[in-house]
Amino acid sequence: MGPLWLASTPQDLVSFCAVSSAVLVRREPRPRIPLLFVMEVSVEIRTPVNYKADDPQQPLSRVVPISSSHLFSYRVVIILRLFILGIYLQYRYTHPVNDAYALWLVSVLCESWFSISWLLDQFPKWSPVNRETYLDRLALRYDKDGEPSQLPHIDVFVTTADPSREPPLVTANTVLSILAVDYPVDKVTCYVSDDGYAMQTFESISQAAEFAKKWVPFCKKYSIEPRAPEFFFTEKIDYVKDDIDLSFIKDCREMKREYEELKVRINALVAKSQKVSKEDWQMQDGTPGPGNNPRDHPGMIQMFLGHDGGLDTDGNELPRLVYVSREKRPGFSHHKKAGAMNALMRASAVLTNGAYILNVDCDHYFNNCKALKEAMCFMLDPANENKTGFVQFPQRFYDVDLDDRYANHSMVFFNINMKGLDGVQGPMYVGTGCCFNRQALYGYDPVVAGDDVEKSLLMSQKSFTKRFGQCPLIGGATVTDTTNAATLLKEAINVISCNYEDETEWGEEIGWMYGSVTEDILTGFKLHTRGWISIYGMPSRPGFLGCAPINLSDRLGQIHRWAFGSVNFLLSRHCPIWYGYNGKLRFLERVTYINNATYPITSIALVVYCVLPAICLFTGKLISPEIKDVYGMWFIIFLLSIIATIFLELLWSDVSFRDWWRNEQFWVIAGTSAQPFAIFQGLFQFITKIETKFTVTSKVDDQKVNELYVFKWTWLLVPPTIITIINLAGIAFSVSSAIIDGYESWVPLIGRLFFTIWVLAHLYPFIEGLLQRENGIPTSFILSSIVLAMIFTLWWIRVDPFKIDKWLEVNIGSTVTNIYNKLFAKLLDFDL
């Protein structure tokens, strides 16, 4: 078992090394990988080879085209929709509603923005692709049986921050899935960053390392999947199957028992941590712990397993496991996850220096043990090897077999948008399940020709230090190699200290980007603007699965954070509209980033559009002069073109209708709650420069599963509640007036109800949550929403809409129509 609690600063390094169970550091040679590749390529050019299976010219992956008939009709429909939209908008601009000018003006403005955001979203999906890898060729070329493996070293990073919201058991499972990965054990190192500086996390990792000695040989012996024990044992094992191996059943039961014991030990640690106050932690020898304050503590590194850390039960070595908790001091900006990743990047540069880095959140375990090899098929593919910056895997989630009303898993984003981008310059980096080329994160440009490598690596010592900091082992500079373990460890502790990054380019130009911007998106954006491409890895067995549960308020909190990040992206110096015109970022890729930075704006238009139908019902007005005639016709044609694009999109992407519909619903729920708030907050911060807090999304835990779908009240839920009430009131109001007014008023009513029903259908999961008693929504909250909604509707009925319209018409005139006529009507030169 590992030591109890060890802190190591350079000062107590000596004692640290003495007690540590497994301090061994062996540094890989510096990553001259690009150079090697270039040599390989030029060798191929000189010697023509006949195609053998291990022929280095043969690709390691291929693009699987989308069925050409689907793609063709999809594109035709997009173009048609563009035309129809043009005609529809022209009609709208030229036909103001005379007795409801305000309604018309607002709706036309919203529709214009919707159109822009549609363009931004649609066109990057013009050439979607699928991909396939050749793992057998990878093995033949780099990993022949009986020979030492030639596969590159990969450092796998796991981040954890808050043990109360990210249970140590979850992190332990993720770590176990990494230790059992199907990759040469001496070529993979697992780094865990603990921003919580938590005893229970540290101890759980130490326990997991011990357990790995039995777990890993078991996984490899029976080639099981997934290799995170919790999720392996929850899967139904069919014991009565004919061909099932009896020794497997026996070992399985034994393993399960061992795992249950591990769970008990970890849960005991967690329980203990709740009883003991933070200050009470002690070192193994009884001396007081190093503070145990997650906000004020020295940097700490502990190694487990690896070359010196004991063999597994089969007598084999295990991948090295490194626990890292970077130094924290009050008054320093720690840059959350991005800061943790950069600290890991430097520590790993000193200790193992893998040419590739793969990062996962602590709640995203390896679901496919070949995920690293999958990534290498793209990274080492002769066609792309020098320009692939990262390989992103889709973020999929473990299905907890519970109602997934709120847990929309962004199937539309991952199966449609990202596949589309894969056909442009590559998917965005989404924060987890992503394998990077270390050189790309160091800020180097992709290597185009052999001598460029030398150029990009050659940098004067001065600018090198200015960029990467004092440690000469970081950044790929050539230095005299130090192989002394103690020296290296000391250096590793040094590079995770608070002030290491002072006056360097970490977070600004290199590594993970800092700022209140969504750091992941920005990190990927930087790489794309430097000309790197990214690739979307979609093996049929998903590479990684997230196991964090999600309830509505958690999900809204997450959406809020992302939308807030997008607003900041838009307002930052990296704004994708203006930043990085150097010819390296492809146009449609830029469009996607612009879409990412501007999509929250759509929520403002959406809120308006969710209120408009109710107003129409109350006032009896319409957003268009004649609903039955021309408008109605174009509206229906337009609607059909929308349906057709969606249908074809679902067809080529294999996204189910249900997933798509959930996505739409969530778009409206989030768009009327989290997103508009994020806009105001973003603007507020932009003007006042006051930073907002980051809360870690909670993770699944045995005890927590039950409260999983509990609908927690948050202030974000007020606007959708008001919208729901107004729309319901609108229906009641108009139906009762129609009953009083008689038959004639029924026909126009149906047209108007269409929009109200559209709004309510989208908000349905939300309403459902609101109505469930056990969700504990305070009655006062519902009552105050009702009162607000009533004030709002009464105001609309009382205020004479004609007065506003007169004022608008006099003061603004038919501005929109005029502008439109000046700009476009002459250009297109046709009238309806």
Ligand X SMILES: O=c1ccn([C@@H]2O[C@H](COP(=O)(O)OP(=O)(O)O[C@H]3O[C@H](CO)[C@@H](O)[C@H](O)[C@H]3O)[C@@H](O)[C@H]2O)c(=O)[nH]1
Q: Which of 143, 162, 422, 520 is catalytic?
A: 520
Cis bond upstream, residue 226 (ω within 30) = yes
> Among residues 303, 310, 552, 534, which one has the least CA distance to residue 408?
552
Separation between Cα atoms, residue 66 and residue 132, nearest integer Å: 12
161 binds ligand X (CB under 6 A): yes
The burial of 540, by beta-carbon neighbours within 10 Å (0-12 exposed, 13-18 middle, 19 or more buried), is given as exposed
Separation between Cα atoms, residue 38 and residue 44, nearest integer Å: 10
> Among residues 644, 688, 8, which one has the least CA distance to residue 299?
8
Does 195 qualify as catalytic in the annotation?
yes
Positive or negative CA dihedral for 510, 512, 514, 517?
Answer: positive
616, 107 Cβ separation under 8 angstroms: no
For residues 561 and 704, which CB has a smaller minimum distance to ligand X in the complex?
561
Separation between Cα atoms, residue 472 and residue 465, nearest integer Å: 8
For residues 234 and 333, which CB has a smaller minimum distance to ligand X in the complex?
333
Smallest gap from residue 700 Cβ to Mn ion (A): 10
Q: Residue 713: left (phi > 0), alpha (psi -120 to 50), or beta? A: beta
Residue labelled with tokens 């609908």: 711
For residues 256 and 336, which CB has a smaller minimum distance to ligand X in the complex?
336
Tell which one of 195, 203, 589, 649 touches ligand X (CB under 6 A).
Answer: 195
The burial of 103, by beta-carbon neighbours within 10 Å (0-12 exposed, 13-18 middle, 19 or more buried), is given as buried
Tell which one of 92, 337, 346, 409 touches ligand X (CB under 6 A).
Answer: 337
192 binds ligand X (CB under 6 A): no
Question: Would you say how long the chain is, in residues?
Answer: 832
Binding mask 138-157 for ligand X (x = CB under 6 A): --------------------
Structure tokens given for 37: 């590749």
Q: Which does 340 bind (CB under 5 to 8 A by kind): ligand X, Mn ion, none?
A: ligand X
Structure tokens given for 357: 């880095």
166 binds ligand X (CB under 6 A): yes
For residues 426 and 546, which CB has a smaller minimum distance to Mn ion in the complex?
546
Binding mask 606-645 for Mn ion (x = CB under 5 A): ----------------------------------------
The burial of 786, by beta-carbon neighbours within 10 Å (0-12 exposed, 13-18 middle, 19 or more buried), is given as middle
* Neighbour count for residue 740 (Cβ, 10 Å): 8
551 binds Mn ion (CB under 5 A): no
Tell me the window of 130-138, 419-427, 555-563, 737-745 that interacts with ligand X (CB under 6 A).
555-563
For residues 361 and 374, which CB has a smaller minimum distance to Mn ion in the complex?
361
Structure tokens given for 220: 């490899």
Does 280 qualify as catalytic in the annotation?
no
Contacts of residue 119, defined as CB under 8 A and 6 or more positions apart, other chains included, come to none
Helices and strands: H and E segment counts in the chain? 29, 13
For residues 603 and 697, which CB has a smaller minimum distance to Mn ion in the complex?
697
Tell me the window of 75-83, 465-473, 655-663, 692-700 that interacts with Mn ion (CB under 5 A).
692-700
β-sheet bridge partners, residue 390? 436, 534
Total interface residues for ligand X by CB under 6 A = 21
115, 85 Cβ separation under 8 angstroms: yes
361 binds ligand X (CB under 6 A): yes
Structure tokens given for 363: 């709640």
User: Alpha helices of 95-167 — where are they, by DSSP H?
Assistant: 101-122, 135-142
Smallest gap from residue 786 Cβ to ligand X (A): 33
159 binds Mn ion (CB under 5 A): no
Separation between Cα atoms, residue 416 and residue 121, nearest integer Å: 11
DSSP class of 311: -
336 binds ligand X (CB under 6 A): yes
Smallest gap from residue 98 Cβ to Mn ion (A): 53
Q: Which does 679 bind (CB under 5 to 8 A by kind): Mn ion, ligand X, none?
A: none
Q: Which does 432 bind (CB under 5 to 8 A by kind): Mn ion, ligand X, none?
A: ligand X
Tell which one of 348, 432, 592, 724 touches ligand X (CB under 6 A).
Answer: 432
Q: Which does 447 bind (CB under 5 to 8 A by kind): ligand X, Mn ion, none?
A: none
Smallest gap from residue 302 Cβ to ligand X (A): 17
Structure tokens given for 284: 């193994």
Q: Which does 166 bind (CB under 5 to 8 A by kind): ligand X, Mn ion, none?
A: ligand X
Smallest gap from residue 414 Cβ to ligand X (A): 12
Q: Which does 561 bind (CB under 5 to 8 A by kind): ligand X, Mn ion, none?
A: ligand X
Separation between Cα atoms, residue 804 and residue 801, nearest integer Å: 5
330 φ/ψ angles, rounded to the nearest 5 degrees? -60, 150
Separation between Cα atoms, residue 381 and residue 284, nearest integer Å: 49
164 binds ligand X (CB under 6 A): no
Tell which one of 162, 327, 361, 501 touches Mn ion (CB under 5 A).
Answer: 361
* Single-letter amino acid code for the residue at 825: A
The burial of 550, by beta-carbon neighbours within 10 Å (0-12 exposed, 13-18 middle, 19 or more buried), is given as buried
For residues 471 and 559, which CB has a smaller minimum distance to ligand X in the complex?
559
Binding mask 713-752 for ligand X (x = CB under 6 A): ----------------------------------------
438 binds ligand X (CB under 6 A): no
For residues 428 and 816, which CB has a smaller minimum distance to ligand X in the complex?
428
Smallest gap from residue 558 Cβ to ligand X (A): 4
Contacts of residue 606, defined as CB under 8 A and 6 or more positions apart, other chains included, come to 110, 667, 668, 671, 672
Separation between Cα atoms, residue 677 and residue 586, nearest integer Å: 32
Separation between Cα atoms, residue 793 and residue 724, nearest integer Å: 12
529 binds Mn ion (CB under 5 A): no
- Lay out the sheet containing 320-325: strands in order across: 300-305, 320-325, 188-194, 154-160, 356-361, 434-437, 388-392, 533-536
For residues 143 and 361, which CB has a smaller minimum distance to Mn ion in the complex?
361
Structure tokens given for 429: 């980096």
Tell which one of 189, 201, 395, 697 touches Mn ion (CB under 5 A).
Answer: 697
Separation between Cα atoms, residue 488 and residue 474, nearest integer Å: 12
Q: Which of 162, 195, 554, 659 is catalytic?
A: 195
Q: Which does 172 bind (CB under 5 to 8 A by kind): Mn ion, ligand X, none?
A: none
558 binds ligand X (CB under 6 A): yes
Q: Which does 133 bind (CB under 5 to 8 A by kind): ligand X, Mn ion, none?
A: none
Smallest gap from residue 563 Cβ to ligand X (A): 11
520 binds ligand X (CB under 6 A): yes
Tell me the window of 486-494, 668-676, 690-698, 743-751 that interacts with ligand X (CB under 6 A).
690-698
For residues 545 and 679, which CB has a smaller minimum distance to Mn ion in the complex?
545
Separation between Cα atoms, residue 68 and residue 71, nearest integer Å: 5
Tell which one of 167, 290, 431, 475 touches ligand X (CB under 6 A).
Answer: 431
Q: Which does 754 bind (CB under 5 to 8 A by kind): Mn ion, ligand X, none?
A: none
30 binds ligand X (CB under 6 A): no
Q: Which does 362 bind (CB under 5 to 8 A by kind): Mn ion, ligand X, none?
A: ligand X
Binding mask 366-395 for ligand X (x = CB under 6 A): ------------------------------
| Residues 560 to 589 in contact with ligand X, rule: CB under 6 A | 561-562
Tell me the window of 334-342, 568-576, 580-588, 824-832 that interacts with ligand X (CB under 6 A).
334-342
Residue 307: CA count within 13 A, CB half-sphere: 9
Active site (catalytic) residues: 195, 520
Residues in contact with Mn ion by the rule CB under 5 A: 361, 697
Residues in contact with ligand X by the rule CB under 6 A: 159-161, 166, 193, 195, 336-337, 340, 361-362, 431-432, 520, 548, 558, 561-562, 694, 696-697
